Structure 1
Amino acid sequence: CKPGFTRIGRWCFSIHTDPATRNDSVAICERLGGGMVVLDSAEKERALTSYIIENDLLTMTDQRLELFKDLDVIINGDDETEKFCKDFLQYGTKSKKYRHFTNNKIPVGSLPEDRANLTTPAGFKIALSSIPGAGMGAWSEIPLSKYTVLGSYEGLVRNDLNDKDPYSWVVDKLGANGSYVIDAMPLDCSNWLRYVNAPRNFQEENAQPVLCAGLVFYMTIKDVPPGTELMVWYGDNYGLHLNVSRVHPEHDLNATVVFRINVVHIKDSLGEVLAYDDGSPLTYENWLENITYTVVEKSFGLLLSYDLHKERWRWLPERNYNYFTEKEGLYLPFICEDWDSELPES
């Protein structure tokens, strides 16, 4: 094997437990005179995975441990919405548990088109958003504790559920079947929460929608310091409009130990290369699943995953997790292969 590689079975591998980005992983493998490992046979995968287990090379990265905290915020926030709704149904805005802001009173004689802005409570302001091109945004000028209720979203109530206007929420009717739309596009019947923008990453996300009693409330999911723009995730469809994907890595990885590897190009029975949605030939074959062919959608990499509890290896697509990881993506252990040193079958 070349320097930096270890003979494992008929192949030469370099297993890196110090995590790196995908681009850096590829560059390191190339500097060693090889490339990212391609698991193109069951024999090769068994040799590699057995070596990893026997040499205790299974590690969890610090970045993923931090990402678990983000996931915990999301899960706990979802649990808190149910608690808030029960509290609201009993106490309304007079709750002793939740700090609840209501609309500022609109001065008599105000112009109808100024209504949304004028409803802004004391301690908040409507000003230019920190997101380029997003227009105006809603800002807090006072510190807000986690699970503060910012108020209920107001707008024109319609029954047209097919309208995909970005200022609309679809809400279930209270005590009846069916749904309706709260459309905050018209300035004369909406309130200040229409100016709350969507975040570009989880660090910016500081509030969430809570659907309760036929209303839509906005509630903070973390402590918010003064001088902070309020931002709510409006759902995956709106994320597509912004070209933002809110996929948490642990929804895919599920606390398994992961190594970054290379994709396997596979042809189907007609000789066609199976591909992802973007046209790149990145279909994988998991030899441990009795050679089952699977098409992976909207992905750009491949991960070798080990479930410590089930003691089972599997392959996972590496999707775009930038909403939680920033642009550099996941830092993961990775495996290089010296493609020139493979021994022939005996």
Structure 2
Amino acid sequence: MSTELLWCEDCGKSLQGDCKLHGPLIRVKDRVIPSRARLTLPHYLTLRLLEMRAGNHQVLGVFAKKPIQKRTQFGPYVGNLSLNASQCQDGKLVFQVLKDGKRYFLNAPDEEFGNWMMFVQPARNEKEQTLVAHQYQGEVFFTTVKNIDPHTELKFWYAAEYLKFMEISTVVIKEESDLCVSPPPLATLQS
């Protein structure tokens, strides 16, 4: 049996291409549905394209569609837990959590298994930070640090105690008189 042949039920045989006697098949494709991560996005948030990278890779950000109050908590962050940081090295942000007395690495593998929180970008400075990432009962949550206006991008940075837990020292950069921090490199997480 060849996988390169089409079946014609009217002729009762497999054919190379469309049937010359009965014509082409009417092909119906599946409807495209959003990924799990996109489906979990709360109704008052939206995704926007931030940039296109090589290989048609989209970098998305999460934006408010309506005002969001300070102290609003989102989560938990959904991803894969691993005891080994090297299993998480796919260029995506990795969090650490303490669960059942063990330190795990948490990352969002892809849109089919993660939730919308995987699209939230890290803040580059205090001014653009709208969320703080923190651990609670072995899971990671984001909580707003100020009131957020519509059309504002949600960006996070780590709570001070969470940074200590992850044993990360922040990188400080001066940029246009703002104090900037960058996400911890994965190499730091492996130590």
Q: Same fold judged by TM-score > 0.5?
A: yes
Which of 36, 40, 61 is the matching residue for 1:115?
36
SS at match of 1:202: coil
User: Higher relative CO (CA 8 A, sep ≥ 6), structure 1 or 2?
Assistant: 1
Q: How many residues align?
A: 137
Question: Corresponding residue for 2:178?
Answer: 326
CA contact (8 A) 1:196 1:231 kept: yes
Identity across matched positions, percent:
25
Deviation readout 1:132-171 (Å, 9 max, x if unpaired): 8681101111111111112211012222234445332110
Q: Tell me, which stretches of 5 or more residues in structure 1 are unaligned?
A: 1-108, 247-319, 328-346
Deviation readout 1:26-52 (Å, 9 max, x if unpaired): xxxxxxxxxxxxxxxxxxxxxxxxxxx
Question: Corresponding residue for 1:189?
Answer: 113
Give the superposition deviation at 1:232: 0.8
- Residues 217 and 223 (structure 1), Cα distance of their counterparts in 2 relative to 1, 3 Å cut: same
Deviation readout 1:253-286 (Å, 9 max, x if unpaired): xxxxxxxxxxxxxxxxxxxxxxxxxxxxxxxxxx
C-alpha separation in 1, matches of 2:178 and 2:138: 36
TM-score by length of 1: 0.35
Aligned-CA RMSD value: 3.2
C-alpha separation in 2, matches of 1:200 and 1:148: 21
C-alpha separation in 1, matches of 2:134 and 2:32: 30
Matches within 5 A, 1:161-200: 161-162=85-86, 163-164=88-89, 165-173=91-99, 176-200=100-124
Question: Corresponding residue for 2:80?
Answer: 156
CA contact (8 A) 1:172 1:180 kept: yes
Question: Corresponding residue for 2:46?
Answer: 125
SS at match of 1:181: strand
Give the superposition deviation at 1:110: 7.7
Which of 206, 220, 226 is the matching residue for 2:144?
220
Larger helix share, 1 or 2: 1
CA contact (8 A) 1:167 1:185 kept: no
Determine which structure has more spread, i.e. the larger CA radius of gyration: 1
C-alpha separation in 1, matches of 2:123 and 2:94: 17
CA contact (8 A) 1:156 1:186 kept: no
C-alpha separation in 2, matches of 1:118 and 1:161: 28
